[in-house]
Amino acid sequence: MVESPPALHDIVPDFSAAMTSEQTFRLQDYRGRNIVLYFYPKDNTPGCTTEGIRFRELYPEFQQANTEIVGVSRDSLRSHESFRAKLAMPFQLISDPDESLCNLFNVIRSKTMYGKAVRGVDRSTFIIDASGRLVKEWRGVKVPGHVDEVLEFVKAIH
């Protein structure tokens, strides 16, 4: 396991993870394409649903910019399959129940929920370019306008 998250402009270490549609995500399989890797807290919650819908709406434009979208949360594959179907998402979701990807990208944070300290995913988005380099990251993402900003960035590097 990598001890520190990749820094901007570093090559992201190859990784693989279980994803929806009974597929395995392998970073190396996407060389030659940009990747939007977006981490979100939980399936079927308001902010995550809004974000997923916006990625779905703009998916054709991401594809035109040689970019694949992949969502990541700690939810199970079963939960992901239901969430994908409900939102008609054209892209895959990675299940990270052991937090290995969350740890690689350092997106687990202590949060306060209903007065209790909990560990949760800090909504974050990473752009890995066609050569496998981390070229952009957004942390502590607020959903409104975010997906549009991500699209503008990938269009600029296309």
CATH code for position 29: 3.40.30.10
Check if the beta carbon of residue 68 is closer than 8 Å to that of residue 35: yes
Domain count, the chain: 1
**Residues noted as catalytic:** 48
> From CA 145, how far away is CA 90, in angstroms rounded?
20
User: Which of 72, 83, 88 has the alpha carbon at shortest distance from 126?
Assistant: 72
Q: Is the pTM of this model over 0.85?
A: yes
Question: Rounded to 5 degrees, what angle do the CA atoms 18, 82, 103 make?
Answer: 40
> From CA 47, how far away is CA 142, in angstroms rounded?
9
Provide mean pLDDT across the span 10-26: 94
> In this predicted model, what pLDDT tens digit does every residue of 126-152 receive, in sequence order?
999 999 999 999 999 999 999 999 999
Q: Is 79 exposed, middle or buried (0-12, 13-18, 19+ CB in 10 A)?
A: middle
Residue 131 forms part of a structural domain: yes
Residue 153 forms part of a structural domain: yes
Residue 105 forms part of a structural domain: yes
> In this predicted model, what pLDDT tens digit does every residue of 45-85 receive, in sequence order?
999 999 999 999 999 999 999 999 999 999 999 999 999 99
Provide mean pLDDT across the span 91-95: 97
Residue 101 forms part of a structural domain: yes
Domain extent at residue 101: 16-157
